[in-house]
Homo-oligomer: A and B are copies of this chain.
């Protein structure tokens, strides 16, 4: 398996486009399309929020009942959530327009929206945007980048990843893009993510691979503890790589799982590191936990804590806050048994052991906490399970961005 450049057009047979449609803001790309020249198996995971956006309701039906998927139309600016029957009708109209232009059926078109909750879509602009997307889509790297830009909201950078690997003599490619910066605390999956691949695989195994993988990737990131109404992660597989279709959990399936895990982890960390107002990627890694679920719960608790996040922003080795966040996670442990380290790419510094602080250097700790990627490593000394979670620091800019997001 090797990482390559590119995103949703990296795999064979996929096209994309990203355009300025003035959905809410002028002078920025805000609508995108992902298109496959041939029918795709589709798998998806969606928000667990009771208040689901109209496109989430639409896509769940498509993934469940449609024989195949051919395209996804995405807009940013307005989330089409809390918009009632009118919002669902607009979503359906968007899919129907794309279907008509692309010569496919409406139930082969996924729709996704992100942005302000509660406003109705400007449907005329959306439909005009769909016309241009259908006309402009191509299979270039530039088209994938334009699409990745077009789905951004408060993101400061676009987010793509792609890998290739071999199954027998066939080269399989998997690429994806995602967006997300605020309202990030996925439960089932994250904001918007689209993965395309030319692998041949059964729909059941595609869905199972996705469902299993998000537990340790997109579900392990948090920016602010708010689970969105629009969280959607889709994988489209069109089979053009020409490998023998994967229908059992064989060696080929494992290769696919590894590739999917690499792309999902890469994209998820990009979201965490680009959290609203973030100055650092903040990782919590828990090792030697009693169970995998304990390790996940503990690491998520640390990266979700406002006080830990503010300490990272301040480069302040206030380790008590990290112990505190471990303590209220809901996992039982003996505080006298655990060890806590601050780490960056170069150094690992022991801070706490045997129930109290060790005699560490404040200077070294501050230096580590000033890195662009900071890790807190916790050794539970209870078992063999481990997990990592990713978040970011809490800065003035997070408040600034969110105190008046709509204006």
Contacts and interface: CB of A to CB of B under 8 A. Distances in A.
A224 interface: yes
A331 interface: yes
Interface string A205-242: 00000000000000000001111110000000000000
A327 B229 contact: yes
Given A307-B224, A314-B403, A404-B314, A328 B82 contact: no
B406 A318 contact: yes
Given A51-B326, A323-B118, A314 B357 contact: no
A81 interface: yes
A403 B87 contact: no
- Copy number of this protein in the oligomer? 2
Interface stretch (A91-99, A189-197, A251-259, A348-356): A348-356
Nearest to A226: B307
Contacts of A167: none
A83 B86 CA distance: 59
Contact of A403 (B48, B116, B311, B336): B311
A182 B320 CA distance: 14
Nearest to A351: B118
Interface residues of A, number: 70
A165 interface: no
A345 interface: no
A407 interface: yes
Interface string A305-345: 11100110110101111011111110111011000000000
A134 B140 CA distance: 80
Contact of A82 (B355, B399, B400, B407): B355
A402 interface: yes
Q: Which of A116, A305, A333, A352 has the most chain B CB within a 10 Å cutoff?
A: A305
Nearest to A305: B226
Contacts of A404: 314, 316
A226 B310 contact: no
A116 to B, nearest CB: 6
Contacts of A82: 319-320, 323, 335, 352, 355-357
A305 B323 CA distance: 22
A335 B50 contact: yes
Nearest to A328: B227
A78 to B, nearest CB: 10
B399 A84 contact: no
A387 interface: no
A117 B324 contact: yes
A316 B405 CA distance: 8
30 contacts: A50-B328, A50-B333, A51-B324, A52-B327, A79-B320, A81-B320, A82-B319, A82-B335, A82-B355, A116-B318, A118-B319, A118-B323, A119-B357, A185-B328, A225-B305, A226-B324, A229-B323, A306-B306, A306-B402, A310-B398, A310-B399, A310-B403, A311-B405, A314-B402, A314-B403, A314-B405, A316-B406, A394-B399, A394-B402, A398-B399
Interface of A: 48-52, 79, 81-87, 116-120, 182-183, 185, 187, 224-229, 304-307, 310-311, 313-314, 316, 318-321, 323-329, 331-333, 335-336, 352, 354-357, 394-396, 398-400, 402-407
Given A81-B320, A313-B399, 18 more contacts: A79-B320, A83-B355, A84-B354, A84-B356, A118-B320, A118-B357, A224-B306, A225-B225, A226-B305, A226-B321, A228-B324, A307-B402, A310-B398, A314-B403, A314-B404, A314-B405, A316-B403, A396-B396
